[in-house]
Structure 1
Amino acid sequence: MLRLRCKTKNGSHIMQGLTHQSSVQELKSKVEELTGIPCDVQKIMVGYPPSSLDIRNGNAHLRDYHIKSGDTLIVEEEKNKMKTQTTNSAVTKGPYLESLPVLARRVVPADNSCLFTSVSYVVEGGVYDPACAPEMRGLITQIVSSNPMAYSEAVLGKTNEEYCTWIRRDDTWGGAIEVSILSKFHQCEICVVDTQTVRVDRFGEDAGYHKRVLLIYDGIHYDPLQKETPGSDAPPQTIFSTKDDIILAQALELADEARRKRQFTDLNRFALRCLVCQTGLVGQKEAREHAKETGHANFGEV
């Protein structure tokens, strides 16, 4: 017997009564019974990162899939299928797709402050403030300087004082340290989805926060993620529940699509130029070594 958990954005259900001899159609019927999602518009994902099952052949057996007892199946309604509802008196007008919200990237400027702009955008509920970076850099400086024990040279990679001077500059980039600090300050989980590795790093995961926001990262640039409804004037949604695993699966799908399109920068191979002395460099390692030898810390991608 297979004991599976069926998880949707509205909750989860224990799925029993299936075996490896059961057909895909039996699985789909059981999902419809538990979730109300019709068989013909179901999308079923399993594993981590979640990958979609090919459920087009209803006669196939579950033994042909990598499903084992105890697995969690993530189920959602297909967004690329039109749902037509016909009654005796009327037919629903317009494609069903237009009424479904989708997770999408909201592009922000690549101006060395994309992390701060992106975090501000998502925690403020989709409000874009291009002038927010100096304030956020100042906030991080206050937090770090007020707690030199927690933010020591071992953590920061430089002395507390040097870090505070460095992060205030508008030509420096934020990263994991700054995301962690901002997660604590805003009391929310910040999930960063990486397009090169197709993984999600969850800052504040174990802190018991109820809110979650999402960023996508391509190796050098951060953008915020938001749920929006195509063709609608409704404001985007940028804040989600930490219990919503469906949104994480959707974010990983976006990252995987970007990876397939090579929309990422390999930090070990991308070409840089020191904007102070014009030295050509390759990769993050050479940039770090150059900065250590010269004190130069202003780099641009070639």
Structure 2
Amino acid sequence: MLRLRCKTKNGSHIMQGLTHQSCVQELKSKVEELTGIPCDVQKIMVGYPPSSLDLRNGDAHLKDYPIKSGDTLIVEEEKNKPKPQDHPTVTKAPRLEASPMLARRVVPADNSCLFTSVYYVVEGGVYDPACAPEMRGLIAQIVSSDPAAYCEAVLGKTNEEYCSWIRRDDTWGGAIEVSILSKFYQCEICVVDTQTVRVDRFGEDAGYHKRVLLIYDGIHYDPLQKETPGSDTPPQTIFSTTDDVILAQALELADEARRKRQFTDVNRFALRCMVCQTGLVGQKEAREHAKETGHTNFGEV
């Protein structure tokens, strides 16, 4: 059984009931059933970067195509192309098409922005605000299964304490969690910092073929995606690790945010402990307060 997902501009769908022995027409009919896009105008793409599949032979089997379990198929509706004419609008049309650009996809600041952002990019642009508990549980399971690698020296607390802590919905994820998720999803996770305009590449030396991007302002994480303004093409969130152009574009976004001061200086921002209402300044004071009192629920003032 093939485990597939298809994605359109309107959302993502899980595809069931297909195998490598299924024929192309079965695939196209399943896509039409899920998306409403008629078989004869479907454009189906797969891979990173996405490339179109030649599906004109409806009797061909899926085993003859580069489709494997776990893939996300990107589906667009092909518009009828206008016939060449000497009409002004025909010659001007290509110049009206926008170019793909890297952009921030804002997610809620709810203590789980890291988990929501990572899920969004690794799943190919699927936004699921309910994914955080599952991802926190996944991290806790991985950490508890390897106490030697994830010891107190690494975690800053005992293995057992960490696993209880990360499952709570009022705790924030950071570098440790990104590293764990990079290994689990077998992809390089690049975090672009808007304050320092640098990129931290988790899984850089692991030989992964896929890369996803997050942008970080000192407190909050958002996913980055390549999108074409005004286009029906679904956004792209997964890139090749050989694509250094996308890293340069991400750094440009970070530099633009820095110049607009769209970052939080973690050493100077004002916080309040939501347990005892104590006012605090900066990340250092917050950590010391948490160590002294056990309070870890902070709100930005």
TM value normalised by structure 2: 0.71
Between 16-25 and 238-247, the greater mean CA deviation after superposition: 16-25
Relative to structure 1, the CA distance from residue 158 to residue 15 in structure 2 (aligned partners, 3 Å threshold; closer, same or farther) is closer
- Asked whether the 8 Å contact 1:23–1:60 carries over to 2, the reply is yes
- 1:182-210 Cα offsets, whole Å, 9 max, x none, are 00000000000000000000000000000
Deviation at 1:102, TM superposition (A): 0.4
Alpha-carbon distance in structure 2 between the residues aligned to 1:68 and 1:139: 24
Deviation at 1:55, TM superposition (A): 45
- Asked whether the 8 Å contact 2:187–2:210 carries over to 1, the reply is yes
Alpha-carbon distance in structure 2 between the residues aligned to 1:72 and 1:190: 19
- Asked whether the 8 Å contact 2:9–2:232 carries over to 1, the reply is no
Between 226-235 and 69-78, the greater mean CA deviation after superposition: 69-78
- Asked whether the 8 Å contact 1:49–1:252 carries over to 2, the reply is no
Deviation at 1:95, TM superposition (A): 6.4
- 1:31-80 Cα offsets, whole Å, 9 max, x none, are 99999999999999999999999999999999999999999999999999
**DSSP 3-state at the match of 1:93:** helix
Between 229-238 and 12-21, the greater mean CA deviation after superposition: 12-21
Alpha-carbon distance in structure 2 between the residues aligned to 1:25 and 1:132: 33
Quote the residue 1:210 is aligned against.
209
Quote the residue 1:163 is aligned against.
162
Alpha-carbon distance in structure 1 between the residues aligned to 2:14 and 2:278: 60
Deviation at 1:99, TM superposition (A): 3.2
Relative to structure 1, the CA distance from residue 292 to residue 47 in structure 2 (aligned partners, 3 Å threshold; closer, same or farther) is farther
**DSSP 3-state at the match of 2:213:** strand
Between 233-242 and 18-27, the greater mean CA deviation after superposition: 18-27
- Asked whether the 8 Å contact 2:121–2:237 carries over to 1, the reply is yes
Alpha-carbon distance in structure 1 between the residues aligned to 2:59 and 2:29: 12
Deviation at 1:94, TM superposition (A): 3.8
Relative to structure 1, the CA distance from residue 258 to residue 16 in structure 2 (aligned partners, 3 Å threshold; closer, same or farther) is farther
Between 100-109 and 7-16, the greater mean CA deviation after superposition: 7-16
Alpha-carbon distance in structure 1 between the residues aligned to 2:12 and 2:132: 40
Alpha-carbon distance in structure 1 between the residues aligned to 2:232 and 2:187: 27
**DSSP 3-state at the match of 1:142:** helix
Alpha-carbon distance in structure 2 between the residues aligned to 1:242 and 1:65: 23
Relative to structure 1, the CA distance from residue 148 to residue 237 in structure 2 (aligned partners, 3 Å threshold; closer, same or farther) is same
Deviation at 1:28, TM superposition (A): 46
Between 191-200 and 65-74, the greater mean CA deviation after superposition: 65-74
- 1:201-230 Cα offsets, whole Å, 9 max, x none, are 000000000000000000000000000011
- Asked whether the 8 Å contact 2:155–2:162 carries over to 1, the reply is yes
Deviation at 1:100, TM superposition (A): 1.1
TM value normalised by structure 1: 0.70
Alpha-carbon distance in structure 1 between the residues aligned to 2:69 and 2:185: 39
**DSSP 3-state at the match of 1:17:** coil
**DSSP 3-state at the match of 2:295:** coil
Between 71-80 and 264-273, the greater mean CA deviation after superposition: 71-80
- Asked whether the 8 Å contact 2:49–2:240 carries over to 1, the reply is no
Relative to structure 1, the CA distance from residue 99 to residue 42 in structure 2 (aligned partners, 3 Å threshold; closer, same or farther) is farther
RMSD of aligned alpha carbons:
14.4
- Asked whether the 8 Å contact 2:22–2:62 carries over to 1, the reply is yes
Relative to structure 1, the CA distance from residue 44 to residue 137 in structure 2 (aligned partners, 3 Å threshold; closer, same or farther) is closer
Any unmatched runs of 5+ in structure 1? Answer: none
Alpha-carbon distance in structure 1 between the residues aligned to 2:11 and 2:141: 40
Alpha-carbon distance in structure 2 between the residues aligned to 1:209 and 1:52: 23
Relative to structure 1, the CA distance from residue 68 to residue 268 in structure 2 (aligned partners, 3 Å threshold; closer, same or farther) is farther
Quote the residue 2:128 is aligned against.
129
- Asked whether the 8 Å contact 1:107–1:224 carries over to 2, the reply is yes
Deviation at 1:233, TM superposition (A): 1.3
Any unmatched runs of 5+ in structure 2? Answer: none
Deviation at 1:3, TM superposition (A): 48
**DSSP 3-state at the match of 1:284:** helix
- Asked whether the 8 Å contact 1:79–1:97 carries over to 2, the reply is no
Relative to structure 1, the CA distance from residue 166 to residue 95 in structure 2 (aligned partners, 3 Å threshold; closer, same or farther) is same
**DSSP 3-state at the match of 2:93:** coil
- 4+ aligned runs moved over 2 Å, structure 1: 1-85, 88-99
Between 6-15 and 273-282, the greater mean CA deviation after superposition: 6-15
Deviation at 1:260, TM superposition (A): 0.2
Q: Does 1:83 align with 2:72?
A: no
- 1:69-107 Cα offsets, whole Å, 9 max, x none, are 99999999999999999xx99853246363311000000
Alpha-carbon distance in structure 1 between the residues aligned to 2:79 and 2:18: 27
The sequence identity of aligned pairs, in percent, is 91
- Asked whether the 8 Å contact 1:41–1:81 carries over to 2, the reply is no
Alignment of structure 1 residues 21-40 onto 2, 5 Å = none
Relative to structure 1, the CA distance from residue 30 to residue 297 in structure 2 (aligned partners, 3 Å threshold; closer, same or farther) is closer
